[in-house]
Each structure stands twice: as C-alpha cells, then as structure tokens.
Amino acid sequence: MPLHDWTRVDAGTYHDFHRGWSIEIRNLLNRGILPDGYFAMADQRVSGPEPDVVALERTGSRPSGGMVVTETPPRIKQTARVETEAAAYARRADRIAIRHGLGRVVAMIELVSPGNKDSKHAIASFIAKAADFVRTGIHFLVVDPFPPGPRDPHGIAQTLWDELVGEPLPAQPRDRPRIVAAFDAGEPLVAYVESLAVGDPLPEAPLFLAPGWYVNVPLEETYRAAWDVTPRPIQDLVF
C-alpha cells in the first residue's frame, strides 16, 4: 500500500483518515504486539495536548518480549546518537515523572496533521510537547505524511532534534520529504529516521518501551486497514 498525497485534501478530510489510522494502530498494538503488562490508548491527555496513541505500562510490569537493539537492530537505521555531557545534563534538567491513572506512560505515537504545522504557534506547541516527552524519558514515534513547510523547512524530525540537542541530523533526500522518526529517550538519546515519498510503502517502525528495547509498529498494515474503509471519493482525490 503506497503512501498517498494527503496535501490534495483539506485538513478536515485528512483528519477523518487520521483518526481511523490511529485506532487501527491502537487496536493492533493491543492484539499482541505489546508485551504483557503494556497497553495502548488513543487520544489521551498527558501533560499537554493529546497524542494520537499512548503506550502504558501497568504498575509493577517488567520488560519481557519485544526486541533488544543490540540483538535485533530496528529496520529503520539509526540516524543520530547523542551522549555528550552537556546534552545529558540538559535532558535531565527538571525531569518530572509523568503518570497515567491506569499506569505509567512509557511511549507516545503521533501522526502529524496539517494543523500541527499551519502556524508558528502550532509547530512550536507540537515540538515543545514532543521534546517534553523525550526529556522526561517517554519514548516518541512520529509519522509525518506531509512535506516540510516554512515552519519546519528541514522536517519534523530535524526540528525536534534541534530543540533537544541543537545539532543537525544527516541530510534527508530531497525527493523523499515525508518521514517516520523514532526516538529512544534513554541515555544516550538515539534517533531513527526514515525518509519517504508519495508512493512508497510504509516501514515497520520501532516503538521503544524502555531504553534499547522496542516493538515494531506495522505502519503499512494499519494504514491499509484505515485506507480500505476510506470513502472512494476521498481515495480518488489522493491517489
């Protein structure tokens, strides 16, 4: 299933697909991808605007299942790693343990919408929220099916990395401007970034549940499931 060109429809039309895709991701994670003791919830408020999907850990759970980076590297290649003393101290500053009423929040998934980038305030709010998650040890996976704009000229991943560490990521191909980026919020902080173009299949993306330990999110399978129930007139617009 190729990635479609969602710039051809308005924000409200994409939002309908976006909501369906989020639910498909939540459902598949809860059907056995997440290890025992972990579960996903959609549209949860966690110290700020709502992320699309939240991964939670029941109190007392210990890591089991999943994959370890040193044994099974993610299919999305490691793009950047930061372990400088200054970066480490900057990320430790004012760390607050964020908890959910049903368990401890360990990871977030965000599917970027046009509204996240349609104003200076919107992009600043999105990046600040994402950076706060990572700085407090919450792992972050972001999927941006839209090309960079004037407020994120180098893409969402670079904009977030600038906020976190102020360093450049390796340049992404200009003909593949959409991105999937996973951030392992451990120490060192590690970013995994894959560039996409319209027409490309979506990758399996690592969702970190603990430093160096992740499960794969089947973006392609969940995207296809949401696409299959998208009204045909909308499909025709973005093909």
pLDDT tens digits along 102-156: 677 888 999 999 999 989 999 999 999 999 999 989 999 999 999 999 999 999 9
- Let me know if residue 16 belongs to a domain: yes
Please give the tally of structural domains in the chain.
1
- Let me know if residue 49 belongs to a domain: yes
The secondary element (H helix, E strand) that includes residue 218 is: strand 213-218
Domain that holds residue 167: 6-238
The secondary element (H helix, E strand) that includes residue 222 is: helix 219-228
- Let me know if residue 62 belongs to a domain: yes
Global pTM value = 0.85
- Let me know if residue 74 belongs to a domain: yes
- Let me know if residue 13 belongs to a domain: yes
- Let me know if residue 1 belongs to a domain: no
Determine the length of the chain: 239
Name the E strands within 36-149.
38-42, 53-57, 67-68, 78-82, 99-100, 103-111, 139-144
pLDDT digits (tens, 9 = 90+) for 158-217: 999 999 998 889 888 989 999 999 999 998 999 999 999 999 999 999 999 999 999 999
60-91 core/surface letters (b: 16 or more CB in 10 A; e: else): ebeeeebeebeeeebebeebbebeeeebeeeb
- Let me know if residue 165 belongs to a domain: yes
- Let me know if residue 34 belongs to a domain: yes
